[in-house]
């Protein structure tokens, strides 16, 4: 198995005990996640949990008229399938691949066996869950009280933290769907960032040129999420 394909690129798997890693890794299935892949729809019974290594998955709520808004993003920092951990088995949100890459998946039954078998594994997953809840609640605050410009900055920073480069492949239409705003608003906000030399954007490719300035332009929401995540989960310095 190459380093690129290693499940240890997922921060949660990397922080499991050696014994749990050995058991779990033997049961993991590597899968590719093309952009736009739907891992589950609202109301589906979850058959697997997913541990991204270099993909980003967005959790969205979709209204009856088809509009949507992102509530959180999951990448190499965590796992997709929170309902399994919490005992609900299904969820009203949709999980869709925001940035193409790969992940490892584990059957829901096996995941439940592991978290019930080892208290340290359970505690790690619960700490991640609290960090994810912080991201969800802060996203709701940001969407209600802050400008589209600030929301875009927050979204870009959260995405960058889950990627290995400063480049995102993302159309403005998809970003607008994630933020639950009009495409014109995203176009205007991205244009401002480009004119300030913060990003370079062309045909679905967005490169962040000046991260410190991006953080300066962002509202406090990103810093709140990052600080709480670092408090709950030890900084990861692996591959």
Give pLDDT, residue 236: 60
Domain with CATH 1.10.10.10 in the chain: 147-218
Region(s) of the chain under CATH 2.60.120.10: 7-142
Low-confidence ranges of the chain (pLDDT < 70): 1-4, 235-239
In angstroms, the CA 77 to CA 184 distance is 31
Condensed to tens digits (0 to 9), the pLDDT of residues 13-66 reads 999 999 999 999 999 999 999 988 999 998 899 999 999 999 999 999 888 887
CA distances in angstroms from 183 to 103, 152, 188, listed in the order given: 30, 12, 9
Maximum Cα–Cα distance for the chain, whole Å?
54
How confident is the model at residue 204, as a pLDDT? Answer: 78
**CATH-assigned architecture of domain 7-142:** Sandwich (2.60)
Name which of 117, 122, 108 is nearest 80 in CA terms: 108
Query: Is 172 exposed, middle or buried (CB count within 10 Å of its CB: 0-12, 13-18, 19+)?
Result: buried
3-state helix, strand, coil in the chain (%, to 5): 45, 25, 30
Q: Which pLDDT does position 1 carry in this prediction?
A: 40
The CATH-assigned architecture of domain 147-218 is Orthogonal Bundle (1.10)
């Amino acid at each position: 198995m190459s380093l690129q394909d290693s499940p240890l690129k997922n921060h949660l798997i990397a922080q499991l005990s050696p014994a749990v890693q050995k058991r779990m890794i033997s049961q993991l299935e590597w899968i590719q996640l093309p952009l736009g892949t739907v891992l589950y729809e609202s109301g589906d019974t979850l058959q697997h949990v997913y541990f991204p290594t270099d993909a980003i998955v967005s959790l969205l709520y979709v209204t009856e008229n088809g509009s949507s808004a992102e509530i959180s993003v999951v990448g190499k920092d965590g796992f997709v399938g929170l309902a399994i951990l919490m005992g609900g088995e299904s969820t009203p949100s949709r999980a869709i691949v925001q940035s193409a890459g790969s992940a490892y998946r584990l059957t829901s039954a096996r995941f439940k066996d592991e978290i019930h078998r080892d208290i340290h594994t359970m505690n790690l997953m619960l700490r991640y869950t609290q960090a994810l809840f912080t991201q969800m609640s802060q996203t709701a605050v940001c969407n209600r009280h802050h400008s589209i410009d600030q929301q875009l900055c927050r979204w870009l920073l959260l995405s960058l933290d889950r990627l290995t480069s400063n480049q995102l492949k993302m159309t403005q239409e998809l970003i607008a769907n994630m933020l639950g705003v009009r495409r014109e608003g995203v176009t205007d906000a991205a244009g401002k960032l480009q004119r300030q030399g913060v990003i370079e954007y062309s045909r679905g490719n967005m490169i962040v040129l000046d991260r410190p300035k991006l953080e300066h332009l962002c509202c406090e929401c990103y810093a709140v999420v990052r600080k709480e995540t670092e408090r709950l989960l030890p900084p990861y310095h692996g591959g």
